């Protein structure tokens, strides 16, 4: 793939992210790094840790104790490792609009919720320190600049690494179950199963 083709694909991804943001709406720009002793160069390990942290973050935002899969809060998370020279860290972009009121969640709530998630993360992994994070509310006029910053490492050599971008569905949803093979039943077995079903015994 040529450099021009890679650049066009990158610009297409950037435009898609930009188009998801409602016009004239500010966006939260969150940077997350792990404590020094818990940093990792393994992207799979980092993804698992971020999955746990962000699941706690979203659950606290939703104020729910039950398990959940689909988040009502959309976001894009970008994994970065500075040209493969440093441990992984994360940038996150999300508007966090309350679906009931249509208002954006206040910054103090986002900060308080991330603090709770950080504490749960520390407890879960038995760490001495909590995660490091910075939260900024970026005005709509600066969104494209921030998107450019978040996607600056997607091109690695001659490859566009779009798999470094995660949304709630790709980060939280479990893999689909493999279909099980149906057993070949005899005519008698099928009749017995039908009777059990009708009688509420199956």
What does the pLDDT look like over 29-67, one tens digit per residue? 999 999 998 999 999 999 999 999 998 998 888 887 555
Collapsing DSSP to helix, strand or coil, 110 comes out as helix
Q: How confident is the model at residue 200 (pLDDT cuts 50, 70, 90)?
A: very low
| pLDDT for residue 77 is more than 70 | yes
Percent of the chain whose pLDDT exceeds 70: 82
Collapsing DSSP to helix, strand or coil, 186 comes out as coil
Query: Residue 153: which of 84, 92, 75 has the closest Cα?
Result: 84
Non-local (6+) Cβ contacts of 54 within 8 A are 77, 92, 117, 171, 172
pLDDT of residue 140: 97
CA distance 133 to 31: 5
Average pLDDT, the chain: 85
Per-residue tokens: 98: 């309350």
pTM confidence score: 0.81
| pLDDT for residue 17 is more than 70 | yes
Q: Which domains does the chain have, with CATH numbers?
A: 3-198 (3.30.70)
| pLDDT for residue 106 is more than 90 | yes
C-alpha pair distances (Å), 195 with each of 34, 101, 185, 190, 198: 58, 51, 14, 9, 5
């Amino acid at each position: 793939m040529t450099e021009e083709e890679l650049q066009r694909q990158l610009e297409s991804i950037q435009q898609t992210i930009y188009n998801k943001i409602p016009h004239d709406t500010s966006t939260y720009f969150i940077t997350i790094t792990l404590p020094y002793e818990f940093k990792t160069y393994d992207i799979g390990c980092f993804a698992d840790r971020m999955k746990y942290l962000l699941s706690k973050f979203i659950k606290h935002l939703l104020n729910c104790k039950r398990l959940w899969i689909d988040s009502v809060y959309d976001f894009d998370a970008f994994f970065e490792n500075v040209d493969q020279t440093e441990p992984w860290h994360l940038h996150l972009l999300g508007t966090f609009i309350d679906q009931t009121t249509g208002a954006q969640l206040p910054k103090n709530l986002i900060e308080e919720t991330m603090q709770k998630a950080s504490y749960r993360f520390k407890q879960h992994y038995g760490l001495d320190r909590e995660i490091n994070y910075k939260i900024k509310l970026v005005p709509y006029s600066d969104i494209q600049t921030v998107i450019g910053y978040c996607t600056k490492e997607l091109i690695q050599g001659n490859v566009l690494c779009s798999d470094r971008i995660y949304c709630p569905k790709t980060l939280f949803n479990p893999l689909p179950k493999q279909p099980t093979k149906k057993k070949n039943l005899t005519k008698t077995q099928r009749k017995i199963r039908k009777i059990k079903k009708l009688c509420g015994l199956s």
